[in-house]
């Protein structure tokens, strides 16, 4: 009953909440062994897109295909291949690091849970703090633990929402290295982030969202920061021209 | 459906104009006299209240499992009508009871079930109004659970005091009254259909406006 | 099926472990229940002494109030860490999570009732031990009825606005049959000669209620917890 895929296709996905369009006809496709960056200003729809990709929210129109199946067709087995690291780290502060990992390992029905947990603790550099309660951890430590939790079941698609927030330089670099390692092993990694410096060396591809729409990315070979800025500016210029036309009372 | 609205409304006006005359000509009930005539409005209202509760519950289930926004709009209209007709029931009932039995309220099975159903659907409207985004689903759960609750409440209130079913308060119909009674039931049923359709239409039009707003952003 | 039960068991164990670390919810809920009983003892007074016939009613009201408080607190904790989302991401049948949460709530309520029943018995001179098996049956079936609807509602309200007040607003009307059955059944057993057939009738009503509402909750849990 296991399920796997090597391609993710977002097909004309829109999502609205009442009158607000959080995502507007977004289309995107990724293959195994890619790190895609999801950039954009606050409120652009990055978190919404990640929620949809993780099957927690359904699109209002359009579909998401994992391989050739939608979430509905693939059923619960799909979730065994998805990993999500959200803003809130989904850790139980009252439990120890080891207990947190053990709980999720058992919940996911992973065999040889204790070995997996030990490996994960080593990866996260928390082996010496394994039996300390998570509420005493720093943000960086929790982030590392949360990442390991998301990776326990070796997902095919890893979704990360602002993973670099609150990390110091060393931890940030370590995370970049880890993600690259996962990419090399065939993971599809989608990272929503504001941290353009760290993302610089990390991303294979770029997707820029603004007001729920995917913008055409400026194709310059300059730094990520410049490309992003150019993309946003091009979109803003296009939008103001449109507004100018409407303002003159012309029907569109 | 909508092209029947105008003739339906007209017919309804005629029926309601005729109703007082019809009711006035019915025979007087032996024990309660004139007051008993409130029953011609009270019972049909109660029937519509219960029917609306089932409409709301079923529409909510369709909304929850088939994700049909149309069903949700129908459920909202039906939910409001439960509360509206319930209001009629809960005001006419005590008025009748005070005159007929000397007390404003009695805890027999029918009254208790009606009161509880009314409260459940008031809660339904409250959660839809104050639940924030996604409140439609919360309301749907309330309506489904509320509808499933009706038989339990009825049985529980029937056996509340003793193991023997408590005698029902509503007396049975004398022959002369039947015509007038069913006339009123028919009128209320048509009124219900009219109100439900109108209210649902308002919601449908609201939804169309929302869709236009969304399309405008493209 | 075993996978379903396994997941429910794991979720329940995790809830109990988390609770046992601080025991915050257990202590505060039990104390709150006891305070409720005291308030009623002082409020319902006849000839300067607490109304003894009110024992059955007071017991079940205290269970309902304490249960609502416990539900709110338990799910508030989940909301704070958004861990309910993490549970929904597991590749298991989602209703199994509901069952796990329900079992955790039942454990909490069992502790509360273990304190409440003797307390009410002592304060109101009520002989709960007269027919212990039937009394236990009433408590078990009634608590399951209350907790099954409560767990579902509390879970679905986790992301709603005004959730603190909406939980009792939604829960109490639906669980009125449970209260009626619990109170009448308990009162029947507290009479000078316990009315066992009556109590058995109420237990069977509660069993029906439990079956219907647990089934409904299992059915509606997934559509209610996912946004579509």
| DSSP assignments along A98-135, one per residue | HHHHHHHHHHTT-SSHHHHHHHHHHHTT-GGGTTSBGG
Tell if the CB–CB gap between A17 and B133 is shorter than 8 Å: yes
| Number of domains observed in the structure of chain C | 1
pLDDT in tens, A57-67: 889 889 999 98
C3 touches chain A (CB under 8 A): yes
Q: By CB neighbour count within 10 A (0-12 exposed, 13-18 middle, 19+ buried), where does B33 fall? A: exposed
Tell if the CB–CB gap between A90 and C7 is shorter than 8 Å: no
Domain range list for chain A: 7-91+155-245
**Å between A214 CA and nearest CA of chain B:** 13
Nearest alpha carbon to residue B114 among B53, B163, B69: B53
Q: What is the pLDDT of residue B217?
A: 67
Domain range list for chain B: 39-165+177-216
A110 touches chain C (CB under 8 A): no
Tell if the CB–CB gap between C91 and A106 is shorter than 8 Å: no
Residue stretches of chain C with pLDDT short of 70:
48-50, 52, 228
Q: Is the dihedral of CA A165, A171, A174, A178 positive or negative?
A: negative
pLDDT average, residue stretch B25-34? 67
pLDDT at A247 over 50: no
Tell if the CB–CB gap between B218 and A24 is shorter than 8 Å: yes
Enumerate residues 163 to 202 of chain A having a beta carbon within 8 A of any beta carbon in chain C. Answer: none
The residue range of the domain holding C21 is 2-225
Provide the CB-side half-sphere exposure for A150 (13 A, CA).
Answer: 30
CATH homologous superfamily of A7-91+155-245 equals: P-loop containing nucleotide triphosphate hydrolases (3.40.50.300)
Tell if the CB–CB gap between C153 and B149 is shorter than 8 Å: no
pLDDT in tens, C148-195: 999 999 999 998 888 889 999 999 999 999 999 999 999 989 888 888
C46 touches chain A (CB under 8 A): no
Give phi and psi for B81, each to the nearest 5: -70, -30
Q: Interface pTM (ipTM) of the complex?
A: 0.88
pLDDT at A105 over 50: yes
Quick one: tokens of C196?
């066992």
Q: What is the pLDDT of residue A248?
A: 44
Tell if the CB–CB gap between C208 and B152 is shorter than 8 Å: yes
- Which residues on A lie below 8 Å from B213 (Cβ)? 19
Which residues lie closer than 8 Å to B78 by C-beta, 6 or more apart?
B52, B53, B55, B56, B59, B196
Tell if the CB–CB gap between B133 and A21 is shorter than 8 Å: no
Q: What is the number of CB-based contacts under 8 A between chain B and chain C?
A: 89
Q: What is the number of CB-based contacts under 8 A between chain A and chain B?
A: 12
Q: What is the pLDDT of residue B78?
A: 96
Contact assessment for residue C172 and residue C64, using Cβ atoms and an 8 Å cutoff? yes
């Amino acid at each position: 009953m296991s399920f796997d895929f090597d391609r993710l296709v977002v097909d004309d996905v829109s999502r609205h909440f009442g009158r607000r369009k959080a995502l507007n006809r977004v289309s995107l496709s990724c293959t195994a062994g890619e790190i895609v960056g999801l950039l954009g200003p606050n409120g652009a729809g990055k978190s919404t897109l990640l929620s949809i990709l993780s099957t927690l929210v359904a699109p209002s129109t359009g579909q998401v295909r994992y391989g050739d199946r939608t979430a509905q067709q693939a059923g619960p087995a799909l979730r065994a291949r998805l990993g999500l690291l959200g803003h809130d780290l989904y850790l139980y502060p009252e439990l120890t690091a080891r207990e947190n990992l053990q709980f999720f390992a058992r919940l996911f029905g992973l065999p040889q849970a204790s070995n997996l947990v030990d490996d994960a603790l080593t990866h996260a550099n928390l082996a010496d703090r394994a039996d300390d309660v998570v509420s005493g951890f720093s943000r960086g430590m929790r982030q590392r633990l949360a990442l390991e939790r998301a990776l326990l079941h070796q997902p095919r698609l890893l979704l990360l929402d602002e993973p670099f927030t609150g990390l110091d330089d060393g931890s940030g670099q370590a995370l970049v290295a880890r993600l690259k390692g996962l990419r090399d092993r065939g993971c599809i990694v989608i990272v929503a982030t504001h941290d353009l410096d760290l993302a610089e060396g990390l991303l294979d591809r770029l997707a820029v969202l603004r007001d729920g729409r995917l913008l055409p990315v400026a194709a310059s070979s300059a730094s990520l920061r410049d490309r992003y800025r150019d993309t946003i500016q091009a979109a803003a210029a296009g939008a103001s021209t449109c507004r100018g036309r409407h303002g003159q009372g012309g029907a569109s | 459906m909508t092209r029947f609205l105008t003739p339906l409304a007209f017919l309804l006006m005629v029926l309601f104009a005729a109703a007082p005359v019809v009711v006035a000509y019915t025979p007087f009930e032996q024990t309660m006299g004139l007051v008993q005539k409130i029953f011609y409005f009270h019972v049909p209202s109660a029937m519509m209240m219960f029917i609306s509760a089932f409409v709301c519950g079923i529409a909510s289930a369709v909304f929850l499992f088939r994700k049909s926004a149309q069903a949700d709009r129908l459920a909202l209209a039906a939910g409001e009508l439960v509360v509206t007709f319930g209001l009629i029931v809960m005001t006419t009932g005590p008025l009748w009871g005070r005159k007929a039995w000397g007390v404003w309220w009695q805890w027999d099975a029918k009254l208790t079930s009606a009161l509880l159903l009314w409260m459940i659907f008031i809660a339904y409207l409250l959660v839809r109004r104050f639940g924030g985004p996604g409140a439609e689903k919360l309301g749907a759960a309330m309506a489904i659970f509320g509808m499933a609750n009706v038989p339990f409440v009825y049985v529980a209130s029937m056996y509340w005091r003793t193991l023997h079913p408590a005698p029902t308060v509503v007396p049975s119909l004398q022959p002369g009254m039947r015509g007038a009674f069913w006339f009123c039931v028919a009128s209320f049923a048509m009124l219900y259909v009219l109100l439900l359709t109108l209210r649902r239409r308002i919601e449908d039009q609201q939804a169309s406006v929302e869709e236009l707003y969304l399309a405008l952003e493209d | 099926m075993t996978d379903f039960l396994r997941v429910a068991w794991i979720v329940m164990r995790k809830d109990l472990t988390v609770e046992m670390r601080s025991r915050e919810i257990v202590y505060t809920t039990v104390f709150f229940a006891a305070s409720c009983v005291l308030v009623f003892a002082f409020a319902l007074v006849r000839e300067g002494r607490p109304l003894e016939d009110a024992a059955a009613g007071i017991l079940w009201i205290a269970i309902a109030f304490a249960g609502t408080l416990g539900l709110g607190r338990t799910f508030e904790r989940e909301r704070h860490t958004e861990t309910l989302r993490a549970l929904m991401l597991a590749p298991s049948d989602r209703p199994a999570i509901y069952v796990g949460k329900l079992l955790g709530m039942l454990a909490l309520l069992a502790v509360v009732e273990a304190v409440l029943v003797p307390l009410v018995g002592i304060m109101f001179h009520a002989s709960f031990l007269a027919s212990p098996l039937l009394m236990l049956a009433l408590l078990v079936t009634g608590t399951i009825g209350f907790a099954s609807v409560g767990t579902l509602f509390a879970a679905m309200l986790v992301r709603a606005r005004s959730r603190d007040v909406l939980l009792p607003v939604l829960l109490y009307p639906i669980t009125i049959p449970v209260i009626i059955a619990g109170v009448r059944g308990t009162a029947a057993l507290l009479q000078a000669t316990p009315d066992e057939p009556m109590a058995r009738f109420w237990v069977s009503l509660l069993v029906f209620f439990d079956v219907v509402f647990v089934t409904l909750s299992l059915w509606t849990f997934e559509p209610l917890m996912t946004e579509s």
